[in-house]
Amino acid sequence: MKTPHTFLKKTFALSFLVLALLACNSDDHTYTPDPPETIPEKYDLGLFDNGKRVMMQAFYWDVEPRFEWWNTLSGHIEDWAATGVDRIWLPVATKGQSGGYSMGYDPSDYFDFGEFDQHGTVPTRFGTREQLEHLIQKAHDNGLEVIADIVLNHNSGGGEEYNPYRNKNTYTLFDTANGNASGKFNRSYEDFHPNSLHQHDEEALFFEEQDLCHHQPRVQEWLWKGEHSVAKYYKNVMKFDGWRFDYVKGFGAWVVKAWTDEVGGFAVGEYWDGYNPELVEWVEASGAAAFDFSCFYKLDEALDRKGDLTVLSGDMLWKSYPEKAVTFVANHDTEKDENPENNISAAHKMLAYAYILTHDGYPTLFYSDYENRQYRSGLKNLVSIHNSIATGTLEVLHQSGEEYIMKRNGNDDNPGLILYMNIGSDHRQRTVTTNWKDKKLVDYSGNTSAWLITDSNGQVTVEAPAKGFAVWSVSRE
């Protein structure tokens, strides 16, 4: 419901004197000064560095131009570092069955980073090994860690051989002549399921005939245990700093734990499930972080499917394990998914980013969103807010179908913030109690030019634009 003050603001040009008099007597603590130069100045948010940063997913599905992606990313490193990114997540960096068209999720040779002539190409879709090494070095020079995308569930592109466990031929022969030109980690049917150990591993089957068996000792040796294993080669030779594990529903959580126990590094798993107890069980068993699909689907439900912000009161991984929750709004899979329930609409993306960049968890930016002119300046600003005043304990001040107001309490050296999300079709105001007494407030999101003053009890009437959000905190004055 609009307050009289909001109405008067809209008639400001016609009746400034009446508005000024009424505003002086208003108890809603909202000031709309004239001239604009009197608006209080915002703090330089760099003064409140809270040590938090964000990750960049540095690719989208079927990136272009082919064979140049590593060079393309090298051109973005300085900007991302200046924005507040501390890690970049690269696509699968080694040769897949689809050769120069492969996004890497059909892994063939774990040691071909674009240097062997196989599957119709020497470079991968993303470029040569030399270009990749240059990218990793440039990222390190700018203080960024580089996260490798690791596919351990299945393999593709091997040669045909008779498989006695299936009583037919399968494409499970990987050697220098068949999809493994590096000559490292040669494989045969004994390394896949079924085999002499068992029929299948603990979890859901995918790409069944080439489903790797992680219980086979030689598979463990080549994947993480041995001195020349995939894990140690990526870390010690290629200089990757951490791991994004693909489709972790396809094998036991113990595999990720064994890998990280062996080589360390930041680790996050793609456990694609919106049911939070499943995510909690996986992070507890693996010891790794997980992408917060429970948060992703709650945001999609609240903003797109139902238009009801009370959905955000539900379970999410960031609420259960904030230090293990990698939050996100979009990724390479969701953006190409034609099912609207598996992606957040363009109309609501900035609202969703405002949510994850002011709440707990480790947020991820999606390359295509950040490089989109429609979102870029807003995302840069939200990252600045996240890395500075999005700190302290979290308290929901108001929640209804169309409104969500949350407070970060900050600390002695940091003012914290108030996020006001409004999915209604009109400008909204709501009186709340803050931690700030007799302070001027400004909107650090830049979505409204209004400024506010809290009273001696910390009360203030905050506001947010229609179908938008505001991030309130103290001004310099």
Whether 417 contacts 392, CB under 8 Å: no
Distance (Å, rounded) from C-alpha 125 to C-alpha 127?
6
Contact 397, 408 (CB under 8 A): no
Do residues 206 and 332 both lie within one domain? yes
Tokens of residue 203, six digits: 């979890």
Low pLDDT (below 70) residues in the chain: 1-37, 204
155 shares a domain with 133: yes
Please check whether residue 108 is in contact with residue 96, taking contact to mean a CB–CB distance below 8 angstroms.
yes
In a domain, 43, yes or no: no
What is the model's pLDDT at position 28?
43
| Residue-level pLDDT at 16 | 34
Same domain for 150 and 97? yes
**Are residues 276 and 306 part of one domain?**
yes
68 and 33 in a common domain: no
CATH of the domain at 447: 2.60.40.1180
Show which of 333, 353, 386 is a domain's final residue: 386
The answer to whether residues 422 and 465 touch, using CB atoms and an 8 Å cutoff, is yes
Count structural domains, the chain.
2
**pLDDT for the residue numbered 37:** 54
Indicate if 152 and 18 belong to the same structural domain.
no
Contact 102, 119 (CB under 8 A): yes
pLDDT tens-digit map of 29-86: 444 444 445 789 999 999 999 999 999 999 999 999 999 999 999 999 999 999 999 9
pLDDT at 201: 83
- The pTM of the full predicted model, rounded to 2 decimals, is 0.92
Per-residue pLDDT, 205: 73
Domain around 430: 4-38+393-474
Tell me, yes or no, whether 404 and 364 share the same domain: no
Q: What is the CATH number of the domain that holds 122?
A: 3.20.20.80
Question: Which own/partner contact pairs does 466-469 have at CB distance under 8 Å and 24+ positions apart?
Answer: 466/422, 466/424, 466/425, 466/426, 466/427, 466/428, 467/347, 467/351, 467/422, 467/423, 467/424, 467/425, 468/350, 468/351, 468/422, 469/350, 469/351, 469/354, 469/419, 469/420, 469/421, 469/422, 469/445
Both 60 and 172 in a single domain? yes
Assess whether 257 and 362 both reside in one domain: yes
Site of tokens 């774990």: 110
